[in-house]
Amino acid sequence: MNMNRYLDIAPEVAQALKDNKPVVALESTIISHGMPYPQNVETALKVNQIIRDNGAVPATVAIIGGRLKAGLSDAEIEYLGKAGSKVSKVSRRDLPVVVAKGMDGATTVATTMIVAHMAGIRVFATGGIGGVHRGAETTMDISADLEELGQTPVMVVCAGAKSILDLGLTLEYLETKGVPVIGYGTKELPAFYTRKSGFGVDYELDTPAEVAAAFHAQRGMGLKTGMLVTNPIPEEFSMDPAVINKAIDEAVAEAKAKGIHGKDTTPFLLAKIKDITGGDSLDSNIQLVFNNARLAAQTAGELCRLG
């Protein structure tokens, strides 16, 4: 068990890890910055239930009062959900100051991976990862999520990357970092709101057992990278690519006109896309998170069977 002095592991999570029971880490940015209250709290609690229903223990990661938390109580989830965007969005670079000052923080994909790895949690479910932003060849706007995947051995189950990003360059970057990109039952990278992107993944694997075996081998060889498992949004919740791509193009153009950049970009674009699509994008977002939680819990279970 990790004894990091900045980290609090919830008792249920600590017990599951000690007993080699499956645990799934969850990020908290989706609670504070990803959805409005009370939908954010309802969604987070439902995700916890889905993970339990699939035989694993949920461990939402956040920073509360300067303490790194692996596993939140329902009351702590409610607190983060109500505080919303008043809570700092914390990536790797923010951790030292947020912890030292005793602040609250909602963790991004990168920071959730760091805390999960500290706690000994191997599998993490999220909505979508960050990536290389459009125009990055001039702005250098590349998400820290990709860098983390290159150096932290945690499996990230997601619905691909949002097509607000440059998906081709995102895949190139992951290849450079040596991160395997797995398509769950697909040869094509899912694009978050839609099942297809036109870009291929490295490998297609079709069962949680196959995914777990690949990650078990990766860890057994001492390879220090993460693994990205991309799980397409269920067909019935997938959005029309033409509708979503038009909304994304409009949102990207507005962000550029308003000079929005850095960590403000993604929340601005998602809120704009939600407005343009009349809320359909938020409904899709919730369903794909549920779908990823299921797969992550099942894969974590298979991983425990392998030791």
Catalytic residues: 27, 162
Tokens coding 118 = 């500290």
Residue 241, preceding peptide bond in cis (omega within 30° of 0): no
With H, G, I as helix, E, B as strand and everything else as coil, classify residue 77.
helix
With H, G, I as helix, E, B as strand and everything else as coil, classify residue 292.
helix
Do the strands 23-26 and 7-9 form a parallel or antiparallel pair, or are they unpaired? unpaired
For residue 223, how many other CB atoms are within 10 A of its CB? 14
The beta strands (E) that lie in 113-226 are given as 123-125, 155-158, 181-184, 203-205
With H, G, I as helix, E, B as strand and everything else as coil, classify residue 87.
coil
Ranges of H-type helices in 102-230: 109-119, 136-139, 144-149, 167-176, 208-220
Q: Tell me how many helices (H) and strands (E) the chain has.
A: 13, 11
Q: What does the DSSP 8-state code read for residue 204?
A: E
